Structure 1
C-alpha cells in the first residue's frame, strides 16, 4: 500500500510541474492544495486521467488535486520523497518570477482572499471539528437531562469543547503568522491579548465611560480609553472571533518585516517583537477590531433581516444557502461562508447561514444510499457505497466527484435537495450554535445550549424533508443509460 501512495505522489508532483514549481503544499480532508509558481506548467488533463485522482480544481489561488480519504497518506508520501515543506514554501529556481508571468495577476482580490482564509483556517479544521462535536454532544446530553450542568463530567467535557472556540484567536494568530511569514508566537501573543480576561470582562468590571453615535442604531458604549481614544469592545470581547486576528497578524507581519529590515543587527532581535506587540495590539483594539466587528455586525443584521422577513425571506435565504453551499465546496470556496458563520456565532451566539449550509452531507447520505440501491452497475455501486459512508462522516467530495458531477443530473438533484431542506430550515429560522461536526455528528450543532429543543426539532424537520425529497427524486429520475455511458457496468 505504501508503494502505491509513493507512486501516486510521484505522478502528482510531476503533474503539477515538478518539485521546482511547488511553492507551498497543504491538504484538507480530501484535497492536496498546491500553491504553484506557474500554474500553466501543471498538466491538468494528465492528472484528471490518473487513477486515484478524482478531479483537479483551480480556485482561491490554489491548485487543488482531489484524491479522497487517502489524502493524508499521499501528502506524507510527497513530503517524504521531495524537498517540499508542508504548510510552507520551497524556494523557486533562480531567475523564476514569483508568479511566473502577468497572466497570474488575473487572480482577483476575492479569489486571493478566499485562498488566505482557507490557508489560515485549514490547519485548525480537525481540532475545530472535534471540539465542536464534544461541545455539541455535551450540550445535547445536558438538554436531555443525561448530564447535570453542575457535574464534573459536564464541566470538564464542555471545557474540552468550548475551550478551543473561546481561545480561537490564539490558534488563528499562530496559523495566520505561518501564512504571513512572521513569528508564529507573535501571532499567538496578539491572539492572547484579544482574549485576555480583564479585557473580555471590561463591561462587567467598569462603568460606562461614554458613548459613540449616541441616539443612532449604531450607538456603542465604551468603558475605557487609550490616551483619550475610546476602547470599543464587542459584548463578549473577541473570544471565538475569526477575522480581526487575521487582519491584526497581517498588520503585525508588515511591522515585523519593516523593523527587521531597518533595525540594527545588535538590537533587532530584542526590539522587533517588542515594537510589533506594543504597536499591533493597541491598533487592533482601537481600529482593526471595531471596524471588522462593525462590518460583521452589519452583515449579521442584513442576514437576520432576510431570515426574519416573514416566511418568504427565510425560504429564499435558506434555499439559496442550502442549494448553493455544495457549489462553493466543489470549488473549495466555502471558507468565506464558514468564516462568516463563525463570526456570527461569536457576535450573537448563533448563526443562520451554516444552519442551512450544513445540511449538504445529510442530503448526500440520502442520495448515496439511493444510488447504491438503485444502480444496476457494479462499478457505480462500488463507488456509491463507500461514498455514502463518507457522507455519514461529513465528507462529500468522494460522492461529488466520482458520481454526481460525471453523471450531471444527480448533481442537479443534490443542489435541489439542499435547496428544499435549506428552505424549510430558513423558514423555521433554524440556527446552529456551534460549528463542529458534519454528517450525523453535525446534528449536535443545532442544539440550543439553553435546553430548548425547538430549534433542534425544526432543523431536523428540514433535514428530513430534504433527505426524503432527494431520495425520491433521485429514485424516479435515475438515468441508467447515463451511468452505463459515463461510468460503465
Structure 2
C-alpha cells in the first residue's frame, strides 16, 4: 500500500478527520488525540497493511508505523486540513482526564520528541570526535577539530533554545519570545559573569548566577510561565498594540523572574535529579543495571520512558556523563537479538520478512516495530529479551560504562560510550544480543506457521457445505462487473486492501450487501465500511479519488454504528455528475479481512444486479 493510501486508510479508521483533535509523530508512530476513541476502529487499523500495531496510553491513540512514519505523516498533512500539532501548538480539547502521570508524560514527550533526532545525531558525532582525538588523528588545536566540535556540541550548548521552541509549541506561547528568553539565559556576557568573583543584583535583589548552557528545566519552567503571562496581557491589551506590548511585557517579566527564581530553582531540580540517580546507581550498579536492562522496553510500551530523558540530559549537563544510556543499549540490542532469533527460527514467510526488517531497525535503536510487530505478540521472545537485557545491563553497569553525550541507545551510540568502561559496554551489548538469539532459538516460541499448516491441511469438502463454511455477500449496486486489476488505483488493483471485485454502476443507488453494522462512513460520503454478522469486513469505495469532491454529489443515508439489513439503502450518488467532473466511478467492493478466509469466490458473470449474489467467502 502506498503512503498516500495508507494515510487515507488511517484517517478513516481513527474516525475521520472530524474526530481528530491533533496529530504529530515521533520516530515510529503517529500520535493522535481523538475526540472520541470509541469511534476509532482499532481492530481494523491493526490489520491494515503498513500498520504494525495500535497503542492507547497517556491520552494518545498511537498508530505504530515504523521507520516510514514521517512519509505517512506528510501525506496526512497533504490530504487533510489537519495541522502538525508540534508546529501549530494545537492541543487536545477533550475534557477527558489522563491523570497527573499521563499529562506529565505527554508534556515531556511533546517537548523532547521533536529534537531527539538532532540530539542523537550530534551525540554520535561528539563520540566519534572524541574517539578520533584519542587516536591522535587530528589535533585539538586544529581548525578541523574546531569546526567538528562546534557541529557536535552546538545542539547541547544551545539546548535551551531548542527546548524553547518545542515548549512554546506545547504551552501555546510565542515561539520567538521563548527563543529570546532562552537567548538571554546563555547570552555571552551572562555566561562570562558566571565565572566572575563579583556579585550582581537586579533592582536590589541578588542574582544567583548559573551557567544555563545545556540546561533543561529552567527554560521549560520559563516558557510555561510565559504562556500565562501572554494570556493575561492579551486579554487586557487592545488589539491595535497587542502584537508589540504583549511580547514586551513577557520579556520584561519572564526574563528577570527566570534569573531570580525559575533558573536557580530549575538548576537545583536538575542537580537533584542527577544526584538522586547517582545515589541510587552507586548503591548497587549491578542491580541498577539489571533492573534498567530488564524493564526499559516495558517502560517504552507504557510510554513512561520519556520521564527519564530529562534525567539523562541533566546528568550530562551537571556531571559531564550519564551511566543510564549505556545500560539501555543492552535492553535495545537484546530486543534486536530476540527478533533476529525469530528470523532464524520461524518458518512463517511473513513473520520472517517482518523480523528481518525489524532486526535492522532495532540494532540502530528503533525498537517499536520489533516489540509490537514481533516479540511482544509472540510473548516468549519478549521475555527472553528482557532476561538478556538484564544480564547485559548488569555487565555494563558493573564496568562503570558512561555516555559522554546523549544518543538513542543502539549500535550507532557506541562512540558516545568511549572512555571509562567502554570495553564493558561493548561486552554487555554483545552478550545481550547473542544471549537473546540463543534463548529464542533454543527455547523456541509458538510459531504462527504451525497454525497455518494445520489449517492448510484440513480437508475442504465442496459438497454439503454448511452456512458455517461460507458467507454470502450480495451486490450493493447494479452495473458491469470488472476485475480489481482494472482500477487505476494501486492500493485496490494490487489487492493490498484485500480481495474483491469492481462494479461500474449504472445507477447511483448503493444498498447494504449484508446484514451487519456500519463501521465507517467517510465524511465525504464516497466510501462506506460494513462489518457483517458473520465477521466479514467490507469496504465499498465509490470511484477513484472521489474524496476530492468533498462530499459533492453524495447523499449519505446511514451513520457509523447503524445496524443495517441486506438491501437497505446506504447511499445515493449522482453517477453522471461525478463522471462529468472527470472522476472514475468504477466501485470496488473489498473484503478487507480476506486474509482470514480460505478463498473469496467472485460472481463469474459480466453484470451485477442490486441484491444478487456477488461474492462467496469460504472459511
* The two structures share one fold, judged by TM-score above 0.5: yes
Name the counterpart of 1:227. Answer: 203
- 1:22-56 deviation per Cα after TM superposition (whole angstroms, max 9, x unaligned): 12111112100112223333222221222221111
Deviation at 1:370, TM superposition (A): 2.4
8 Å CA contact 1:375, 1:480 repeated in 2:
no
- 1:441-464 deviation per Cα after TM superposition (whole angstroms, max 9, x unaligned): 1101212xxxxx332122222222
Name the counterpart of 2:258. Answer: 284
**Of 357-366 and 23-32, the range deviating more from structure 2:** 357-366
Deviation at 1:326, TM superposition (A): 1.1
State yes or no: 1:247 paired with 2:242.
Answer: no
8 Å CA contact 1:433, 1:445 repeated in 2:
yes
**Of 286-295 and 337-346, the range deviating more from structure 2:** 286-295
Taking the aligned partners of 2:453 and 2:209, their CA distance within structure 1 comes to: 56
Name the counterpart of 1:266. Answer: 240
| Matched ranges for 1:407-486 at <5 A | 407-447=378-418, 453-481=419-447, 484-485=450-451
| Matched ranges for 1:38-437 at <5 A | 38-87=36-85, 88=87, 98-99=93-94, 104-105=96-97, 107-207=98-198, 223-234=199-210, 237-309=211-283, 313-437=284-408
Deviation at 1:412, TM superposition (A): 0.9
Shift in CA distance, 461/224, structure 1 to aligned 2, threshold 3 Å: farther
Structure 1 counterpart SS, 2:113: helix
Hey, which of these two has a bigger chunk of helix by percent?
A: 1
Shift in CA distance, 91/182, structure 1 to aligned 2, threshold 3 Å: closer
Shift in CA distance, 185/71, structure 1 to aligned 2, threshold 3 Å: same
Deviation at 1:373, TM superposition (A): 2.1
Taking the aligned partners of 2:126 and 2:145, their CA distance within structure 1 comes to: 10
- 1:324-373 deviation per Cα after TM superposition (whole angstroms, max 9, x unaligned): 21112223332211221011111111112223123333223322332222
Report which of the two structures shows the higher radius of gyration computed on alpha carbons.
Answer: 2
**What is the root-mean-square deviation of aligned Cα atoms in Å?**
2.3
Structure 2 counterpart SS, 1:63: strand
**Of 401-410 and 290-299, the range deviating more from structure 2:** 290-299
- 1:128-179 deviation per Cα after TM superposition (whole angstroms, max 9, x unaligned): 2221121111111112222222222222111101011100110110111112
Taking the aligned partners of 1:461 and 1:22, their CA distance within structure 2 comes to: 46
Structure 1 unmatched runs, 5+: 208-222, 448-452
8 Å CA contact 1:23, 1:90 repeated in 2:
no
Taking the aligned partners of 1:266 and 1:480, their CA distance within structure 2 comes to: 69
Deviation at 1:299, TM superposition (A): 2.4
8 Å CA contact 2:88, 2:169 repeated in 1:
no
Structure 2 counterpart SS, 1:150: coil
Structure 2 unmatched runs, 5+: 457-619
8 Å CA contact 2:89, 2:170 repeated in 1:
no
- 1:422-457 deviation per Cα after TM superposition (whole angstroms, max 9, x unaligned): 11222222221101254221101212xxxxx33212
TM-score (structure 2 length as normaliser)? 0.70
Q: Return the structure number with greater relative CO, CA threshold 8 A, min gap 6.
A: 1
Deviation at 1:62, TM superposition (A): 1.8
